[in-house]
Structure 1
């Protein structure tokens, strides 16, 4: 798919003025991120202990090859990273490697430290073959600004055992079926579904998946102006409000972990999330793997289409000089080698999906016990990825102001206005439209 740049001239000029000279001149000298002169600092936002430990094993394996620059990881928080990276770049203490997603990249680039990695992406593409969707959202101004590492996509997860008790034989395919099933599954202390309503990225992601399946995934005009206030958006938010009525009463505090915990405990029967539901299901639920159901996210009854939020996660290089940047690139080459890629992806089997052809076939990934046990769901996620999308990057867009919107969790705030303040979906969407316009104008 060809991506069309959609940016205001002033913003584009600012990005060129700030980013390109810093990259061309090598930026600041000396170590970044507080490391010593032979240590590269890597920031990632994957906080669960199993992911931290698995990433560390890959880093340890790289450091054991005795590279000139060893890598040291520092775990960050998605809820604080926008402010933290801005301060770090200003003080020239940014990390050498920063994990990213497309909209976050558009926020970081104008800060002035991100280096183009076009030659490296082209080299890795030739060696491993990236999918087009993995690369497209990171290409702008004829350069790649991050190296794709892993994909993520959402599914509808459901408890087959609880469905059977309620007399439901199939996963819902439409919004009306989803709501009807959620209502039927809500009984006593059990709720039909858990959707988050906290001011966080988790809420942004779930509401956006429903926007996509309702035809509201593109909330910009052809010229890149905000066009959030439209009937399809109101319809998606109305459904979300109805689903929240079938969710636990503390959904207003939910992020990623709470819906999964409720799902595994049997307190809820459905959830919309990414593939982190696979690995802990048997242990945390006490149920066999066969009780974990997965299906495409239901579509609007009228005008619906297949879809899910989809992320190509990547790594930016922010090193302050060319020599350190080369060291950072060497580490990323190491990660994408098939023998190393599997251990990296299996930091959370099923959540982190391969983005390269040889990685998808590598025994280091396919032989993982979780991947083999839930092969049907893994294949379904890979299929769902084909219809995935991300705000600011659908329908051939590259909206470089999207980071200003996602950084404020405006989608989640729209949900909160309905859930916590009792505002009508139409009024909340109108408010969100105005907030987005003000955000991109700053």
Structure 2
């Protein structure tokens, strides 16, 4: 059952947003290449991910397809304005990597092609999980091809926990706060959390909202319902945890909590699986010191969960032949013998979405996956209770991209962290901001 839809952007609003974006970008961000080149935009900027994505692309191009692929790396902090400007100037990429809420923002711009037949073909060949497909289906069409999943866990330093006399990772939010307080000593903080105006803060807060019973902040008809006691409770918890986080957390995005965790400046963090690969080298500790556990759950009204992303690719080619070429590339990516190259761009962070991909030797043979198989399996298990704002309980809220594009959740965190607002006042402000955003 699908419900919770709200009105899409009007044509005039799209034109206005796109016009502003062209000005913000300084003109066209047009792709380089010729009529036989497919331009692919992705937002995975770390050098190891760029290199592995390029390896996958080089492998495909070596098969001598009619249309070869060229990657251009983008920035999540700029992609909302950049893609609207590109569509307005007809210089959008042929393939754009996406997440569900971003897709709801891009679709009204007018260049996204439905890929229903392709998704159904790939599903028959490889078997997608329902959670991978559902956020991309609307108006009886699929609008993106699922590629890989991401889920968050509670990461903890077993060595630092042992020194503090904590035998087991926290299971409840009360235990989480108590552990963070106990682990804070001298230069060591109990937990490292992001509090910048960015997607990283949105994501960590939302995991705690999910496990606190505040994950669905829309009514069944798609109206904003953010100002609830459960949301206030989650914001209060985040505020209290930030007191046990490094003093510069207001500038934190993804990398800073991980650096604090690996250096021993923080004993816990909540994040996705990118913590696996660099742990030994960056911490100087053995792999056995890296612990992972499900996100702690509120004592009352909570349930297991984590933010969960099915990452996908939209086809945006203006030319039918190029669109067919883009689909051929995506078919190549999901072949089990190639799929591991994509997933191992960040082993543990990028999780398989297909049945044959989960058992593909190209992924399971990876050294990081093998070394941390316990945590990898735990993430796959956590994925079963994962969710994403705007897509819970069968909803497809068209306007969620307008909310996530403004990082409203992160702004609520900042108001209690930097602005000393009460959680109640900050949540009320967030509710008003969300209502204003979706009304535009």
When normalised by structure 1's length, the TM-score is: 0.95
Distance between the aligned counterparts of 2:37 and 2:373, measured in 1?
39
Q: Does 1:148 align with 2:138?
A: no
* SS of equivalent to 2:3: strand
Cα deviation, residue 343, structure 1: 1.1
Cα deviation, residue 14, structure 1: 6.3
CA displacement, residues 407-442 of structure 1 (integer Å, 9 cap, x when unaligned): 000000000000000000000000000000000000
Unaligned 5+ runs, structure 1: 19-30
8 Å contact from structure 2 (residues 214, 231) kept in 1: yes
The aligned runs of 1:104-253 (5 Å cut-off) are 104-253=102-251
Distance between the aligned counterparts of 1:238 and 1:36, measured in 2?
53
Distance between the aligned counterparts of 1:145 and 1:395, measured in 2?
20
CA displacement, residues 92-144 of structure 1 (integer Å, 9 cap, x when unaligned): 00000000000000000000000000000000000000000000000000000
Give the corresponding residue for 1:27.
none
Distance between the aligned counterparts of 2:342 and 2:228, measured in 1?
41
* SS of equivalent to 2:353: coil
1:355 to 353, 361, 366: 353
8 Å contact from structure 1 (residues 32, 96) kept in 2: no
1:35 to 12, 33, 36: 33
* SS of equivalent to 1:57: helix
* SS of equivalent to 1:137: helix
The aligned runs of 1:74-85 (5 Å cut-off) are 74-85=72-83
Give the corresponding residue for 1:283.
281
Matched residues, number = 426
Give the corresponding residue for 1:406.
404
8 Å contact from structure 1 (residues 214, 305) kept in 2: yes
8 Å contact from structure 2 (residues 293, 378) kept in 1: yes
Cα deviation, residue 301, structure 1: 1.1
Distance between the aligned counterparts of 2:33 and 2:437, measured in 1?
34
Distance between the aligned counterparts of 1:384 and 1:47, measured in 2?
26
CA displacement, residues 236-292 of structure 1 (integer Å, 9 cap, x when unaligned): 000000000000000000000000000000000000000000000000001000000
Give the corresponding residue for 2:97.
99
Give the corresponding residue for 2:321.
323
Cα deviation, residue 354, structure 1: 0.1
Distance between the aligned counterparts of 2:57 and 2:211, measured in 1?
38
Cα deviation, residue 11, structure 1: 2.3
The aligned runs of 1:261-272 (5 Å cut-off) are 261-272=259-270
CA displacement, residues 176-222 of structure 1 (integer Å, 9 cap, x when unaligned): 10000000000000000001000000000000000000000000001
Cα deviation, residue 5, structure 1: 3.3
Distance between the aligned counterparts of 1:175 and 1:135, measured in 2?
31
Unaligned 5+ runs, structure 2: 16-28
8 Å contact from structure 1 (residues 99, 316) kept in 2: yes
Q: Does 1:309 align with 2:307?
A: yes
Distance between the aligned counterparts of 1:155 and 1:91, measured in 2?
41
Distance between the aligned counterparts of 2:365 and 2:433, measured in 1?
47
When normalised by structure 2's length, the TM-score is: 0.95
Cα deviation, residue 36, structure 1: 1.1
Instruction: State the superposition RMSD in angstroms.
Output: 1.4
User: 4+ runs of 1 displaced by more than 3 Å?
Assistant: 12-15
Cα deviation, residue 304, structure 1: 1.1
Give the corresponding residue for 1:293.
291
Give the corresponding residue for 1:387.
385
Cα deviation, residue 13, structure 1: 8.0
Cα deviation, residue 32, structure 1: 6.9
Give the corresponding residue for 1:396.
394
Distance between the aligned counterparts of 1:398 and 1:34, measured in 2?
35
Label 1:248 to 1:13 Cα distance change in 2 as closer, same or farther (>3 A). Answer: closer
Label 1:398 to 1:311 Cα distance change in 2 as closer, same or farther (>3 A). Answer: same
Distance between the aligned counterparts of 1:376 and 1:218, measured in 2?
30
8 Å contact from structure 2 (residues 9, 108) kept in 1: no
8 Å contact from structure 1 (residues 191, 268) kept in 2: yes
Distance between the aligned counterparts of 1:166 and 1:53, measured in 2?
40
CA displacement, residues 383-417 of structure 1 (integer Å, 9 cap, x when unaligned): 00000000000011000100000000000000000
